[in-house]
């Protein structure tokens, strides 16, 4: 009986490892997706800056055209001055020239401000572009690392599956079916140690007489509470077979 228990414990340890590896492996695609989304978001922000830059450049060109236009109109008005004979008309024309000059001044100021904004945004764009390049390279590296990790997990998985196959063949069919059924129903754990009369999985006590039977180890026994296959956890032969639970990853 002890040999059977040993194989079952090893099988369960193997199953647990396989489960852990599959979980890790399944995180791969979502980790890659998160990396790509981070890059995409950055790309979107960069594009927004570029669009804003294009808008400002266009506005500056429009403003400069307007300055040019005002200058032409002012020149025309100035040229007309010599042909004006009436004082009233002359004053009106001067007023108009003044007004055009003032408008032109405002437009020139606006063009200057736009120029400053453009220069500032151009700097920001350049910076963001180089950051984007860095992030892109970094993302590629991180993606490759994840793929390498998945590759390594696949290899480990293949080894474990081989071990699982080997162990499965050491158990008679009936017991294996019983184990698999329990595993499916009991959240992956089909076999549980009992220490000091307490089932270590469901934490319920075993009647003393049953516990003595378990220590003798003549028959295959089940926990009266959770129905899992049980074995005496303080038996030195079994202790080394169980891997300590890995610490929870943050």
Binding residues vs Zn ion (CB under 5 A):
199, 202, 223, 225-226
How far apart are CB 209 and Zn ion at their closest, in Å? 17
| Contact of 191 with 8, CB cutoff 8 Å | yes
> Which is closer to Zn ion, CB of 72 or CB of 225?
225
How far apart are CB 231 and Zn ion at their closest, in Å? 12
> Which is closer to Zn ion, CB of 118 or CB of 202?
202
Q: Structure tokens of 26?
A: 């399944």
> Which is closer to Zn ion, CB of 84 or CB of 202?
202
> Which is closer to Zn ion, CB of 28 or CB of 205?
205
> Which is closer to Zn ion, CB of 47 or CB of 225?
225
> Which is closer to Zn ion, CB of 153 or CB of 231?
231
How far apart are CB 246 and Zn ion at their closest, in Å? 23
Q: Render the burial of 112-123: b for 16+ CB within 10 Å, e for the rest.
A: eebeeebeebee
CA–CA dist 192, 232 (Å, integer): 9
CA–CA dist 13, 238 (Å, integer): 12
The string of DSSP letters for 196-241 reads TTEETTT--B--HHHHHHHHHT-S-EE-TTT--EEEETT-HHHHTT
**Alpha helix stretches (DSSP H) within the chain:** 2-81, 87-170, 173-185, 208-216, 236-239
How far apart are CB 20 and Zn ion at their closest, in Å? 23
How far apart are CB 224 and Zn ion at their closest, in Å? 8
Pick from 81, 70, 73: which is nearest to 108 by CA? 70
How far apart are CB 221 and Zn ion at their closest, in Å? 11
Whose structure tokens read 């270590």?
200
């Amino acid at each position: 009986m002890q040999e059977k228990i040993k194989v079952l414990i090893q099988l369960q340890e193997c199953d647990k490892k396989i489960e852990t590896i599959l979980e890790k492996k399944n995180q791969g695609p979502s980790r890659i997706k998160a990396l790509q989304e981070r890059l995409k978001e950055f790309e979107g922000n960069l594009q927004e800056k570029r669009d804003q830059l294009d808008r400002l450049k266009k506005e500056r060109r429009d403003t400069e055209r307007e300055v040019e236009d005002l200058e032409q109109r002012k020149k025309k008005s100035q040229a007309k001055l010599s042909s004006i004979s009436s004082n009233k008309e002359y004053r009106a024309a001067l007023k108009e020239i003044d007004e055009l000059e003032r408008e032109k001044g405002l437009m020139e100021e606006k063009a200057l401000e736009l120029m400053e904004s453009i220069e500032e945004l151009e700097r920001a764009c350049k910076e963001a572009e180089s950051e984007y390049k860095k992030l892109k390279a970094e993302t590629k590296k991180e993606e490759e690392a994840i793929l390498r990790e998945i590759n390594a997990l696949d290899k480990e998985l293949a080894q474990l599956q081989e071990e699982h196959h080997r162990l499965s063949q050491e158990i008679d069919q009936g017991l294996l079916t019983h184990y698999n059924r329990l595993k499916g129903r009991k959240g992956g754990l089909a076999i549980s140690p009992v220490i000091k009369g307490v089932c270590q999985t469901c934490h319920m006590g075993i009647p003393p007489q049953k516990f003595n039977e378990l220590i003798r180890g003549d028959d295959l026994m089940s926990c009266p509470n959770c129905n899992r296959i049980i074995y005496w956890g303080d038996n030195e032969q079994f202790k080394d077979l169980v891997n300590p639970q890995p610490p929870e990853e943050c």
